């Protein structure tokens, strides 16, 4: 499986740690972020990661900035992206099982490297359950595409 990873200047060190970890776990990794600690705008990496998932360049993607918020919010503006910002493994697992997240984000200033590894491993090991959750995920995608009909 091919995983995209991207970051801003606040998360360069953690990005490299997670890249190595992903390779150890046997994943192919594609780097869409900055390798420098010079200022780098997180929407650039968020948009690149989102586009890589939607285009099928990678299967899933992981974005890291200071909080995870900026990169995650930017990625969620790419049509087709469901990026969940998770600071612990439970939410990360549920984001795959119930929300079919195709992107994960977290913050280098929020989680330490060992917790980040747990979040990543848990997220990648979980899979979408479908069933009743499929309808709800479809409703989210309908909101995005403008075809959602609100219940009055």
Active site residues: 65, 98
Whether the Cβ atoms of residue 85 and residue 106 lie closer than 8 Å to each other: yes
Q: Is 5 in the site for ligand RB5 (CB under 6 A)?
A: no
Q: Is 64 in the site for ligand RB5 (CB under 6 A)?
A: no
What's 84's DSSP letter?
E
Interface pick for ligand RB5 out of 3, 45, 62, 65 (rule CB under 6 A)? 65
Closest CB to ligand RB5 among residues 4, 70:
70
Q: Is 66 in the site for ligand RB5 (CB under 6 A)?
A: yes
Kindly write down the DSSP assignment for every residue of 9-21, as one continuous string.
GGGHHHHHHHHHH
Q: Is 69 in the site for ligand RB5 (CB under 6 A)?
A: yes
* CB 9 to ligand RB5: min, Å: 7
Q: With CB under 6 A as the contact rule, which of the stretches 59-67, 95-103, 115-123, 137-145 interacts with ligand RB5?
A: 59-67
- Residue 141 phi, psi (nearest 5): -70, -30
Q: Binding residues for ligand RB5, how many (CB under 6 A)?
A: 8
Angle among Cα 84, 33, 62 to the nearest 5 degrees reads 25
The token pair that represents 109 in the structure block: 């200033």
Q: Is 54 in the site for ligand RB5 (CB under 6 A)?
A: no
* CB 85 to ligand RB5: min, Å: 9
Q: Return the half-sphere exposure (C-beta side, CA atoms, 13 A cut-off) of residue 40.
A: 22
The token pair that represents 54 in the structure block: 């939607």
Q: What is the rounded (10 degree) CA torsion for 10, 11, 13, 15?
A: -160
* Chain positions contacting ligand RB5, by CB under 6 A: 8, 10, 42, 65-67, 69-70
């Amino acid at each position: 499986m091919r995983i995209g990873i991207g970051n801003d200047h606040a998360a360069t060190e953690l990005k490299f740690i997670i890249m190595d970890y992903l390779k150890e776990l046997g994943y192919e990794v594609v780097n869409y972020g900055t390798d420098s600690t010079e200022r780098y705008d997180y929407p650039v990496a968020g948009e690149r990661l989102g586009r890589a998932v939607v285009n099928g360049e990678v299967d899933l993607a992981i974005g890291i900035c200071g909080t995870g918020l900026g990169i995650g919010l930017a990625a969620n503006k790419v049509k087709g992206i469901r990026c969940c910002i998770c600071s612990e493994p439970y939410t990360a697992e549920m984001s795959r099982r119930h929300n079919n997240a195709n992107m994960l984000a977290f913050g280098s200033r929020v989680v330490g490297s060992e917790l980040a590894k747990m979040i990543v491993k848990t997220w990648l090991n979980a899979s979408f359950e479908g069933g009743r959750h499929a309808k709800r995920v479809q409703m989210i995608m309908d909101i995005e595409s403008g075809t959602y009909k609100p219940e009055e």
